[in-house]
Amino acid sequence: MTTQTARIDIPADPSLRDALTIQIRKRFTNAGRDFTLEVGFTLTPGITIIFGASGAGKTTLLDCIAGLTTPDSGKIVVGDRVLFNHGGETNLPVQGREIGYVFQDLALFPHLTVQKNVEYGLASVSKGERRKKSHAILESFRIADLGERKPGEISGGERQRVALARALVTDPCVLLLDEPMAALDAATKSKIIEDLRAWNTAHRIPIVYITHNREEVFALGDRVLVLENGRMIADGTPHGVMAAPRRESLAQLIGFENIFHAIVIAIQEKRGTMRCRIAESDVELETPLVRAEVGSTLLIGIRAGDILLATVEPAGLSARNIISGRVLSVVQRDVIVVVRVNCGVEMEVHLTLAARDSLQLQPGHAVWLIVKTHSCHLMAAS
């Protein structure tokens, strides 16, 4: 018996036996602009985040893996199965790739019940086996009681669970998730992720999770790849990649709400710090020491959530930067409160609802902002 699937030697390293290896190049157009997606990496079982702004090529990458789009050149291999090989002219059809794909809008079949949706991919299995499998997966995603409902009749979180169950019930060898949780609240999201992790412990396959949301990167990933304009610009642990960005565009991408040009005014080598003045202001900040010369310009990024806010002048703090200012506006955004403060420059501070209520902040109030030295992230100004 012959099989159409091309085989390569099984890697000796057992961790690579189920790995997904990609080396592809694909030109694509997004919003009228031409991009080239050119990436190469190997993903071992577990969750890997692919992080990037919209238009960076994330969905195109997933479509290439799933077979919905054909790369211009390269190779896609799962374990010892070649899905795509430009040189060897292998290009398995979508149907034969055994890749689970949860789409951004989930793409549940609106006319089928939850159970029929989940059983959709089990057409080749006997009816009894089909029932057994779908029941087991519905149980493990806690949606067994929704079997007879239609996707239009259940909540967003439940629909998310159905989409995961539908993709996973077929025992795929890779799971692709395209910003699947974008519309969910944090609590719902974390419960679903827990269940997905539990499933992944029992079924060791690579899971590719793409997102443009910084919080999700920290909540989920063992490993994160950062995609920008079709290229991979960083690869590492969430903390390693997200806490010390080297490029301005990446910093903006991952949500530094406060980014300022600053001039180095003093280098305190023995303390391991330096003093910088924010351009066109009197605000001085003590920052970690980087290789820079006095008088040179850098970029300082400070996350709005890293700034403390006090309504009386604080004393006896370890934090080196205490900046006085006045509240410009207080706006609630979902469960965070965005406070804009004028302290010579405008800074954005994020508070919890409880903090806002206890501080009773109003525009015009005098406040002090407290910024730790190591909350000031320095980047080279481009």
Phi, psi of 192 (to 5 degrees): -65, -40
Residue 85 or 117: the one with the smaller Cβ distance to other proteins is 117
* Least separation in angstroms between CB 47 and other proteins: 19
> Which residues here bind other proteins, judged by CB under 8 A?
66-68, 93-101, 103, 105, 107-111, 120-121, 123-124, 150-153, 166-167, 170
* Least separation in angstroms between CB 111 and other proteins: 5
* Least separation in angstroms between CB 67 and other proteins: 8
349-371 burial code (b ≥16 CB/10 A, e <16): bbbeeebbeebebeeeeebbbbb
Instruction: Identify whether the C-beta of residue 340 lies closer than 8 Å to the C-beta of residue 293.
Output: no
Residue 118 or 278: the one with the smaller Cβ distance to other proteins is 118
Residue 102 or 253: the one with the smaller Cβ distance to other proteins is 102
* Least separation in angstroms between CB 303 and other proteins: 35
Using a 10 angstrom Cβ sphere, with 0-12 exposed, 13-18 middle and 19 or more buried, the burial of residue 202 is exposed
What distance in Å separates the CA atoms of residue 355 and residue 337, rounded to the nearest whole number?
A: 9
User: How far, in Å, are 148, 256, 349 from residue 327 at the CA level?
Assistant: 53, 20, 10
User: How far, in Å, are 198, 224, 294, 305 from residue 202 at the CA level?
Assistant: 7, 22, 55, 36
Residue 174 or 323: the one with the smaller Cβ distance to other proteins is 174
Structure tokens at 50: 């692919």
* Least separation in angstroms between CB 73 and other proteins: 21
Residue 95 or 362: the one with the smaller Cβ distance to other proteins is 95
3-state SS assignment for residue 375: helix
Residue 70 or 109: the one with the smaller Cβ distance to other proteins is 109
* Least separation in angstroms between CB 22 and other proteins: 17
